[in-house]
Amino acid sequence: MTDFAFEHRYSRQIRFRHLGAEGQARISRARVAVVGLGALGTASASQLARAGVGYLRLIDRDVVEPSNLQRQLLYTEDDARLAKPKAIAARDALAAANSDIEVEAVVDDLDAANAEQLLADVDVVIDGSDNFEVRYLINEVAVKHNLPWAYAGAVEAHGTSAFLRPGHTPCLVCLIGYGARVGHDTCDTVGVIAPIVQWMASFQVAEVLKFLAGREDALSDAILQADLWHTDVRLIRMGQPKPDCPCCARREFVALGAGRRALSVTFCGRQTIQVRPQHDASLSLDALAARLRPLGHVRASDALLRFETGDVALTVFPNGRALVHGTDDPARARALYAQYIGM
């Protein structure tokens, strides 16, 4: 991009006196990872791409479904019809919005086996996940590698967001401990409206842009809590890290130390269970499709294979990971995986 084209494209941000040309140039050199491409992740990724963040890594294990379209703004009906991997659908949408930035799609879990590889080489991590196991991993990578990260959550009409900086603010474990949110409400169980998602994502991105532009003096160092239905907004100052925190003070990395991948993970409220081998495989989806066609309906692409038989369906990825749809029973999901894919 020429200097003129660059200045023209981002002219409204450059004219914003708290950013200016220098801040915009810093943003264009930045690297950001977005973990989870659901409602929060797509909203944040869209704003970051349009703001000109130079490199985005989009990480998500799931595929687009019709119920996503109400609030996950990067996806289309065609994406849902094709059950397109969210990371790829989001990458394609962002590339169409800004062809001058680099967008990488990672169709996979974030887990203890790959978290450092996927996160340690960026400047900031955006949390768009829907579970605290992933957030604890993000937090530990952030503390271990001195990376700031933007946390957010939204459900029903209320949300929470904070920008966490190792050594400057409390870490997630300082704030809530380990295991504090087991059994929490989710969008699948109690629903969510899109405006609260957009608000929390916008707070995330605003804090990230401040940091990337070198304006750390403007960071809030606070937790934003809001309930849009009852018009209640609070800003809670975070204070200092806890001196006895097992994570950021004693540097005990419980989530990263787990090391082993879970063989099955239940997707709350969706009758979907993820099954994956202990170590990544290298599947030929074409060969698998040929083997499965006599047994049911098969759709395959370079990114995934969808197999439907009876009351269940399997979405299979090239690394051996699969989503088993139509059951809440991990044992049955693993049995179906073994039956049709092989363990």
CA 84 to chain centre: 16
Show the DSSP H helices in 76-128 as ranges. Answer: 77-81, 86-97, 115-119
* Lowest pLDDT segment from 23-37, 249-263, 293-307: 249-263
User: Which residue has tokens 């309930």?
Assistant: 227
- For residue 104, what is the enclosing H or E element? strand 102-107
Between strands 31-35 and 55-60, the pairing is parallel
pLDDT tens digit sequence for 305-324: 999 998 999 999 998 899 99
What's the pLDDT score for residue 183? 44
3-257 belongs to which homologous superfamily?
A: NAD(P)-binding Rossmann-like Domain (3.40.50.720)
Q: CATH assignment of 264-340, given 3.10.20, 3.30.310, 3.90.550, 1.20.1330?
A: 3.30.310
Q: Please give the share of the chain, as a percent, with pLDDT higher than 70.
A: 93
Collapsing DSSP to helix, strand or coil, 127 comes out as strand
- Confidence (pLDDT) at 6: 86
Per DSSP, the three-state class of 325 is strand
Q: What residue spans define the domains of the chain? A: 3-257, 264-340
d(CA 101, CA 55): 6
pLDDT at 182: 46
Amino acid identity of residue 316, one-letter, is V
Give the span between the Cα atoms of 144 and 189, in whole angstroms.
Answer: 34
Looking up tokens 């973990």 gives 35
Residue 267 has pLDDT above 90, yes or no: no
Average pLDDT score over the chain: 91
pLDDT at 171: 97
Contact 326, 271 (CB under 8 A): yes
- Which 3 state secondary structure label does DSSP give 217? helix
d(C-alpha 138, C-alpha 183), whole Å: 20
**Angle at Cα 50 formed by Cα 47 and Cα 52, nearest 5°?**
110
Q: Are 77 and 95 in contact (CB under 8 A)?
A: no
Of 237-241, 268-272, 293-297, the poorest mean pLDDT is in 268-272
Confidence of residue 339 (pLDDT cuts 50, 70, 90): confident
Average pLDDT score over residue span 8-31: 96
User: What is the C-alpha separation between 74 and 34, in angstroms, rounded?
Assistant: 14
- Encode pLDDT of 161-213 as tens digits: 999 999 999 999 999 988 655 445 567 657 889 999 999 999 999 999 999 99
Measured CA to CA, the distance from residue 75 to residue 138 in angstroms comes to 25
Identify the DSSP state of 218. Answer: G
Cα(225)–Cα(227) distance, rounded to whole angstroms?
A: 7
Burial 327-343 (b: 16+ CB within 10 A, else e): beebeebbebbeebbee
